[in-house]
């Protein structure tokens, strides 16, 4: 079913109040996605773009997380962006209205976030979005996405169809691999996460791997500690085994 851009805009305009409620009350889906953004964002990103920013609360959070970053929020809903401007606009946070198309935003970004957005892009519109993303991401930049799994989408269609939006496509690992290929990037992360049900959402990170990746100091410590424990356990097991053998030899000696 082909949905017009105006229908999509009207839907999100009418649901701006829901976004405000989620911001005030908190949303488990957003909290989970934010943890992945924190973990996988490039170190000290200078320019960040959030596509489908809604009322701008995650954009605002990113300005607080990275104090030197300039953040741009993009959304199709004019009412959502009016709310975002009133609540969060600052010298480092600006908002742009419209669907992301080539030329709408000129500069490049170190981090692009699509939090529960990609599934709301019609399949036939993906090539245009992919080209725009390719033009906007820096060579060492990363794109972070969160989206419902096909399993969760099937559950919604069967048990809670009113939870679906006008466009709600299935996104799986093959979809993400295709996106990465179009952007000349690699899939650095693809994992299912549990929000309300087991494996109901997935997170993906796209980017380019460095030729040589320096191991994280914490990981090095963990690996060294694990190796030490393994060695100690081996020595204990070996000593126990050796003592047992010695007892058997001693017993055999005195039993003669």
Q: What is the pLDDT of residues 1-14, one digit of tens each?
A: 678 889 999 999 99
Segment 5-14 long-range contacts (CB within 8 Å, at least 24 positions apart) = 5/76, 5/99, 7/166, 8/76, 8/120, 8/166, 8/167, 9/76, 9/77, 9/78, 11/165, 11/166, 12/54, 12/75, 12/76, 12/77, 12/79, 12/80, 13/77, 13/78, 13/79, 13/80
Asked if 192 and 133 sit in the same domain, the reply is: yes
Helix or strand holding residue 191 (H, E)? strand 186-193
Q: Are residues 155 and 248 in the same domain?
A: no
28, 121: one domain: yes
Measured CA to CA, the distance from residue 195 to residue 192 in angstroms comes to 10
Q: Give whichever of 142-146, 244-248, 251-255 has the largest mean pLDDT.
A: 142-146
104, 48: one domain: yes
How does residue 248 score in pLDDT terms, banded at 50, 70 and 90? Answer: very low
Looking at the 3D structure of the chain, how many domains does it have? 2
Residues 110 and 145 in one domain: yes
Which structural domain range is residue 68 located in?
5-207
Same domain, 163 and 183: yes
Give the predicted TM-score (pTM) of the model. Answer: 0.80
Q: What is the pLDDT of residues 175-188, one digit of tens each?
A: 999 999 999 999 99
Domain CATH number, residue 139? 3.40.50.150
* φ/ψ of residue 26, rounded to 5: 90, 150
| Averaged pLDDT, 203-218 | 74
| 85 and 123 within one domain | yes
Q: 96 pairs with which residues across the strands? A: 74
Indicate whether 23 and 110 sit together in one domain.
yes
Round to whole Å and give the CA distance between 228 and 177: 39
Q: What is the pLDDT of residues 44-102, one digit of tens each?
A: 999 999 999 999 999 999 999 999 999 999 999 999 999 999 999 899 999 999 988 77
Is 70 exceeded by the pLDDT of residue 221? no
User: Is 200 found in the same domain as 224?
Assistant: no
CA end-to-end distance (rounded Å), the chain:
91
The DSSP bridge partners found for residue 143 are: 112, 206
Residue 65, C-beta contacts closer than 8 angstroms, at least 6 positions apart: 38
């Amino acid at each position: 079913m082909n949905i017009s851009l105006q229908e999509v805009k009207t839907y999100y305009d009418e649901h701006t109040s829901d976004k405000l409620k989620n911001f005030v009350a908190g949303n488990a889906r957003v909290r989970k996605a934010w943890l992945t953004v924190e973990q996988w964002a490039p170190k000290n990103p200078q320019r960040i773009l959030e596509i489908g920013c809604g009322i701008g609360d995650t954009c605002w959070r990113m300005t607080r997380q990275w104090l030197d970053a300039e953040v741009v929020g993009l959304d199709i809903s004019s009412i959502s962006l009016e709310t975002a401007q009133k609540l969060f606009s600052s010298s480092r946070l600006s908002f742009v209205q419209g669907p992301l198309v080539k030329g709408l935003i000129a500069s490049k970004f170190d981090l692009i976030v699509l939090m529960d957005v990609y599934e709301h892009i019609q399949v036939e519109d993906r090539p245009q979005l992919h080209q725009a993303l390719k033009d906007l991401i820096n060579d060492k930049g990363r794109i972070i996405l969160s989206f419902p799994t096909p399993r969760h989408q099937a559950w919604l269609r069967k048990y809670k169809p009113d939870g679906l939006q006008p466009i709600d496509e299935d996104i799986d690992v093959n979809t993400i691999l295709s996106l990465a290929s179009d952007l000349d990037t690699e899939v650095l992360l693809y994992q299912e996460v549990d929000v309300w049900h087991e494996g109901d959402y997935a997170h993906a990170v796209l980017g380019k791997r460095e030729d040589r990746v320096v191991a994280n100091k914490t990981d090095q410590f963990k690996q060294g500690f694990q190796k030490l424990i393994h060695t100690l356990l081996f020595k204990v097991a070996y000593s126990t085994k050796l003592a047992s053998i010695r007892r058997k030899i001693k017993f055999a000696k005195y039993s003669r």
